[in-house]
A and B are shown apart, each in its own frame.
Chain A
């Protein structure tokens, strides 16, 4: 009798445990997604649960439009000095013309925020680094200005600051002798906003740029990436870039 009672108790424990586990497993994805969808508190570190990415539709990119470039320059205080060869450019418009067919295209080119960034591999001090959420940045406190990352970048995304700067914007510190590049507007992204270039493109109603979390299957960028064919520039290098393009 006592054995039967014990056996019943074991069975009840097992069933309730199993039921709890199954329920937990069923609910967990919803709970995890829900946490990511909410804003990250200011004192919480970024994590690799999120991977920021961008999808650019070159068919919607207007050849004569420079809104993304102007917005980036304004956002970060990138004033030119009348020296185009050494002035910083974080994003630029690239015009393509097929040598064989004559077909023309235009697209914005920025730091591709690779998953395996060559610039991070080669930096001797580790100043060039990839944040847990995929944004590739330069820690300018550690940058010694050797420019090796600029040699290594397959997209020529980085700029070196060739002169003394004044009146930097508080959210975009930059100074002489260090290297910089597009940060995916990390100061905006950390405050749940989109990069300035994407905002400007949308304001012009071209809507060529989509920014979002590629790890979130419900985000607009994930849905578009699944729906439409897209590719990376220099995909053969297998860097798994965060910026993808449609129509190239």
Chain B
């Protein structure tokens, strides 16, 4: 009889504390950057009255979107009943919570008045999708925590499926809410599209899974636990599907805009003469972030190699950051269309492309958020039993093991 999958904490010791200390340095740097920005005021950043959301928001939105997508693996096992994914469900839940915490930390620390967080948690305007998102984010952490509890305590295992279903629905609503932050804005050419919400959902699938694959590979390698091809190849095939799906949504978004004369100015800006934004779109988002990973993941020569799989996942993440950068900052850089058919100039930079370049405090704060998420995952797998002791092929899928032994015999 196949023994049940075992979970155990990773080992501590000097290695653990050294790596944790290294990650913690980035967290401290991020906190320092946040203090610097808050103490001096935002004039020390690249953000202005034209581009009001900058690099911190790119990182924050990326992390939040990836957080909901990281839960996908757990949902596949609990909601859709795919047993090979079951051993990964705990790590998936942990990663979801930690990425969300990292993203929210960056978002809150960039506020003009972060000391008023209590105000944000007690005064609500329920017409604002932002206010709803505060509930969704905090609720998500609670729901996933309960889901993890159901999974990790043997007595409660019978509730895993309903808890998993609740978490699945919750994260779809959460990502819809995150996309709607932009989709609900009538003011700007780049937003004001119902497509923003489902596109963000698909983006979450892709980014979350890419990060999950990298974290899983790193954690297993770090703690010398076997990671079999059965599970890894399934994950990488799934990642390819999601990358393709995101590409589809991007194509639909731009094709639709290209058909609508009113949006031609914005499309020209992104696709043709937007300088950095055009370069990021074609080279990083489409090339490095979508087409190249698709090739790497599905071509027989690279699709089975661990090295290429991790490179592909990294490229997906970089492409995802570029995509969020273009959405958030490119969307703001393009001027508001207040006087169609007129050239507009003013002392408040109307009518022209707004300039923005990421400043060091912003980038350090964003990276600090990423480091916080990673540090939290690291501590989590050390303290509690999130990581399976073995994900070797025969552990994950006994039928696969039986089939190979029969074939060999």
- Asked whether A159 is an interface residue with its Cβ less than 8 Å from the other chain, the reply is yes
For B49, give the chain A residue with the smallest CB separation. Answer: A159
Of the listed stretches A9-17, A32-40, A172-180, A191-199, chain B binds: A172-180
Residues of B in contact (CB 8 Å), total: 50
Judging by beta carbons under 8 Å apart, are A124 and B344 in contact? no
- Asked whether A234 is an interface residue with its Cβ less than 8 Å from the other chain, the reply is yes
Expressed in whole angstroms, the Cα–Cα distance for A123 and B125 within the complex equals: 7
**Which residue of B49, B117, B130, B186 contacts A88 across the interface (Cβ within 8 Å)?**
B49
- Asked whether A132 is an interface residue with its Cβ less than 8 Å from the other chain, the reply is no
Expressed in whole angstroms, the Cα–Cα distance for A83 and B47 within the complex equals: 12
B330-374 contacts to A, CB under 8 A, are: 332, 336, 338-339, 341-351, 355
A129 to chain B, nearest CB (A): 8
Judging by beta carbons under 8 Å apart, are A99 and B342 in contact? yes
Judging by beta carbons under 8 Å apart, are A156 and B336 in contact? yes
Interface of A is mostly: loop
Judging by beta carbons under 8 Å apart, are B41 and A97 in contact? no
- Known pairs A85-B50, A86-B49, A143-B112; A123 contacts B128 (CB<8 A): yes
Judging by beta carbons under 8 Å apart, are B130 and A92 in contact? no
Judging by beta carbons under 8 Å apart, are A98 and B342 in contact? yes
- Asked whether B134 is an interface residue with its Cβ less than 8 Å from the other chain, the reply is yes
Expressed in whole angstroms, the Cα–Cα distance for A124 and B336 within the complex equals: 23
Q: Which residues of A contact B50 (CB under 8 A)?
A: 85, 156
B17 to chain A, nearest CB (A): 37
- Asked whether A153 is an interface residue with its Cβ less than 8 Å from the other chain, the reply is yes
- Asked whether B154 is an interface residue with its Cβ less than 8 Å from the other chain, the reply is no
- Asked whether B48 is an interface residue with its Cβ less than 8 Å from the other chain, the reply is yes
A121-135 contacts to B, CB under 8 A, are: 121-127
Q: Which residues of B contact A100 (CB under 8 A)?
A: 341
Judging by beta carbons under 8 Å apart, are B125 and A126 in contact? yes
Expressed in whole angstroms, the Cα–Cα distance for A176 and B186 within the complex equals: 28
Judging by beta carbons under 8 Å apart, are B119 and A144 in contact? yes
Judging by beta carbons under 8 Å apart, are A96 and B185 in contact? no
Q: Which residues of B contact A162 (CB under 8 A)?
A: 41-43, 48
Expressed in whole angstroms, the Cα–Cα distance for A125 and B117 within the complex equals: 10
Residues of A in contact (CB 8 Å), total: 57
Judging by beta carbons under 8 Å apart, are B342 and A92 in contact? no
Expressed in whole angstroms, the Cα–Cα distance for A238 and B378 within the complex equals: 51
Judging by beta carbons under 8 Å apart, are A122 and B184 in contact? yes
- Known pairs A96-B339, A109-B346, A154-B186; A144 contacts B43 (CB<8 A): no
Judging by beta carbons under 8 Å apart, are A125 and B53 in contact? no
A117-157 contacts to B, CB under 8 A, are: 118, 120-127, 142-148, 150-156
- Known pairs A86-B43, A97-B342, A145-B111; A154 contacts B187 (CB<8 A): yes
Expressed in whole angstroms, the Cα–Cα distance for A127 and B184 within the complex equals: 19
- Asked whether B254 is an interface residue with its Cβ less than 8 Å from the other chain, the reply is no
For B132, give the chain A residue with the smallest CB separation. Answer: A124
Provide a sorted-by-A list of 24 A–B residue pairs whose CB atoms are within 8 angstroms.
Answer: A81-B43, A86-B49, A93-B347, A94-B344, A99-B343, A109-B348, A120-B125, A122-B184, A123-B125, A124-B128, A124-B131, A126-B125, A147-B112, A148-B128, A148-B130, A154-B186, A154-B336, A154-B338, A155-B338, A160-B49, A164-B40, A177-B41, A177-B42, A248-B339
The 9 closest A-B pairs by CB, nearest first: A145-B112, A177-B112, A126-B125, A162-B43, A163-B41, A124-B130, A85-B48, A154-B187, A147-B52
